[in-house]
Amino acid sequence: MSRLFCAVVFIFFASLISARAILVDWSTVTWTPGSLSNSYDVDPANPGNDLTVAVTGDTGQLQPSLATGNPQTPAITNAFDGGLSPGHSTLELALNLASNAQSVTVTISFTSPGVNHVSFNLFDIDFSNASGNTYQDVISSITANSTAGTIAPTITNVGANATLSGSGTNQTLTGIVSTVDKGAGSNLGNATITFDGTGISSFTFTYSSGSMFADPTYQHIGIDNIDYTVVPETNPALLSLGLCITAIVASTWRRLAKHRREKNIDPS
């Protein structure tokens, strides 16, 4: 009976905390070109919108994509493939900043308070110092907010055409070499950003140009698909039912154990 009791308790609580994996796949959602905020329902188990993506800052400096149709960014395009075959659709940001003091900030906010382990790639973090083409991609202020406070990113898979500096919540990705948008070598401007904490409510980063150029020219990056997990919120009715079942099983186990002890008492 003790084994049955343990099994019931384990199965019940495991069902309450079982996490589910979610993917924000840009090829399956829509974004009106040039719009600065969109919300998405990507979790079949949670009706309604699950996250909102917003772009703020010097948004007047956003430019059309070089991809087919030249949609105004932010836009979902196939401008980059990050060395993948086949390539992914990405949320593209293209800028022509008036000065290196300008920037845009991307913020992804989650509806559920139980979002864990967020991860995504950035494509085409690079640099150019050619005639008429002078910019240096800089990704900074990369942080997440959670129930435990501010979370620093874990940044990996940084391509050879970008560099990572700083530590904790002050890490910066900087382009150092020009990178092709597609095909061989396009992975050299990649970086993977992961937030390993739990209870994440949002994450954010800022996109700008380095101080080398006072008036940068056209520059662009792609935000790849976003992975995260969700621990479902406990249903109060389900919790009450489970606790009642657990209490009944425990009470039965105790009565049976007492009965066995009494039967084993030597009357002599």
pLDDT tens-digit series, residues 10-39: 444 444 456 789 999 999 999 999 999 999
Conformational region of residue 34, where left means phi above 0, alpha means psi within -120 to 50, and beta covers everything else: left
> Across residues 82-110, what is the average pLDDT?
96
% of the chain surpassing 70 pLDDT: 79
pLDDT tens-digit series, residues 194-218: 999 899 999 999 999 999 999 999 9
Closest residue by Cα to residue 51 from 200, 170, 188, 158:
200
pTM: 0.81
CB proximity list for 129: less than 8 A, separation 6 or greater = 212
pLDDT tens-digit series, residues 116-173: 999 999 999 999 999 999 999 999 999 999 988 999 999 999 999 999 999 999 999 9
Task: For residue 179, give the amino acid letter.
Answer: T
Name the fold adopted by 19-230.
Jelly Rolls (2.60.120)
Residue 261, burial from CB neighbour count under 10 angstroms (0-12, 13-18, 19+):
exposed
Preceding peptide of 74 cis, ω within 30°: yes
Question: What b/e string do you get for 214-224 counting C-beta neighbours within 10 Å, with b at 16 or more?
Answer: eebebbbbbbb
Conformational region of residue 66, where left means phi above 0, alpha means psi within -120 to 50, and beta covers everything else: alpha
Summary mean pLDDT of the chain: 87
Closest residue by Cα to residue 174 from 196, 153, 159:
159
Task: For residue 262, give the amino acid letter.
Answer: E
Confidence of residue 242 (pLDDT cuts 50, 70, 90): very low
**Helices and strands (H, E) in the chain, number of each type:** 2, 16
**Helix runs in the chain, H state only:** 2-17, 236-263
Domain borders along the chain are 1-18+234-268, 19-230
Output phi, psi for 13, to 5 deg: -70, -30
Can you give the pLDDT at residue 10?
43
